[in-house]
Structure 1
Amino acid sequence: MHDSAFCRVPRPRFGVGAPAGVDLFSGRWRDGRTGVRSRQLEHTFCSCLPWIMGSAHEGDAVSDPIQDDVEAELIAFARVWAEAIVSNDAERIAEFADDDWVMVSESGTESGRRFLSLVASGELTPSAMDTVGEIRVRVHGDTAILTSRVTNTAHFAGEQFDADEWTTDVLVRRDGKWRCVLTHTTPARSDTSE
């Protein structure tokens, strides 16, 4: 009955003690070692309960306040990061990226450190970065995936470059702060919107 595509409920850790499983009355995972797992998991499971019990239909939206808050936080993250990039302040941009940040494009992989060094030297100067449409957000624990269509303009070695790209950023949350570990860009076709 339970379809994990509709409910992003992590599997419990099994151990000694009380039997592991879901308490359907409280919507809480119980694992053998620690009892009740977490409040966030409880909310995630409860928001999925209509799917499990068969009272929701495919296409029905079931809102999860915690998930909605995280998605809003990540959309704000993306907007403020875009502002930092256009500011041409390498230190400010670096606040949003992990030390291992990698950028992937049609020409291969590039270290985010190279991007930051080009911005710091003034050789690369982004001047515009705009999201076209909505940002798609998916959260999986302390990992998030943001996908959007982005138009941008930059100058490199004195030449202007304009791009219309689909961008996917993979973020991880460490010590309560989101950081980008991977950015993947794909040129958008001119006849594609969202």
Structure 2
Amino acid sequence: MTGTPQDAVAAWWQAMRDRDPEALARLAVPEFLSSGGPSGRTVGLAGLLAEAAAFFAQARIDTWSVDDLVVRPYGPTAVCSYRWSESGSHLGVPFAMRGLATDVLVHRDGRWRHVAHHVSALPADDGAGR
């Protein structure tokens, strides 16, 4: 499931697309921290799971991508940075978002798990990928 840090990052975004808070919980450590996003908030694992469940009840992600993934390993820890994008609908209204993300992962219990996830949204794409 998460044999490499890259696998763990992909599994995170796939869990969001699959609207699967249980998968998110399995991909994170109990002391997980999430920050950034559209509201600029910082929450722990329970807060993230509550926000995800509320989002999943009203929205869906149809497509997602992770590009330019850079992994910096530090023993049982890895720092991953990348560009992300997603599109879907919220309350029946289409949306598209993109940004930059940094994930801190730790190799625990034989797999890579998220310790921290930070996203910064970028302005809407200008059609030229910028």
TM-score interval, smaller chain? 0.7 to 0.9
What's 1:98 paired with? 29
Q: 1:179 aligns with which of 105, 113, 116?
A: 113
Identity %: 24
Q: How many residue pairs get matched?
A: 121
Deviations 1:76-130 (A, max 9, x none): 2222222122100111121111112211116231223223123335435441321
Flag the 1:162–1:94 CA change in 2: closer, same or farther, 3 A. same
- Is 1:120 matched with 2:53? yes
What's 1:89 paired with? 20
Q: Normalized against structure 2, the TM-score is what?
A: 0.75
Q: Normalized against structure 1, the TM-score is what?
A: 0.53
What's 2:64 paired with? 129
Unmatched runs of 5 consecutive residues or more in structure 1: 1-71
Please give the alpha-carbon distance, in whole angstroms, between the structure 2 residues aligned to 1:120 and 1:174: 25
What's 1:188 paired with? 122
Deviation at 1:193, TM superposition (A): 6.5
Counterpart amino acid of residue 30 in structure 2: D
Counterpart amino acid of residue 64 in structure 2: M
Deviations 1:45-95 (A, max 9, x none): xxxxxxxxxxxxxxxxxxxxxxxxxxx822122222221221001111211
Please give the alpha-carbon distance, in whole angstroms, between the structure 2 residues aligned to 1:138 and 1:126: 31
Q: Tell me, what secondary structure is at the counterpart of 1:95?
A: helix
Deviation at 1:167, TM superposition (A): 0.4
Structure 1 stretches of 4+ moved >6 Å? 191-194
Give the 5 Å matches for 1:29-108. 73-105=4-36, 107-108=40-41
CA contact (8 A) 1:166 1:187 kept: yes
What's 1:50 paired with? none
Flag the 1:100–1:74 CA change in 2: closer, same or farther, 3 A. same
CA contact (8 A) 1:125 1:154 kept: yes
Please, what is the CA RMSD of the aligned residues?
A: 2.7
CA contact (8 A) 1:119 1:125 kept: no
Deviations 1:116-159 (A, max 9, x none): 1233354354413211x321000001110111100123555x26
What's 1:164 paired with? 98
Structure richer in strand, relative to its length: 2
Counterpart amino acid of residue 130 in structure 1: S
Counterpart amino acid of residue 17 in structure 2: V
CA contact (8 A) 1:124 1:154 kept: no
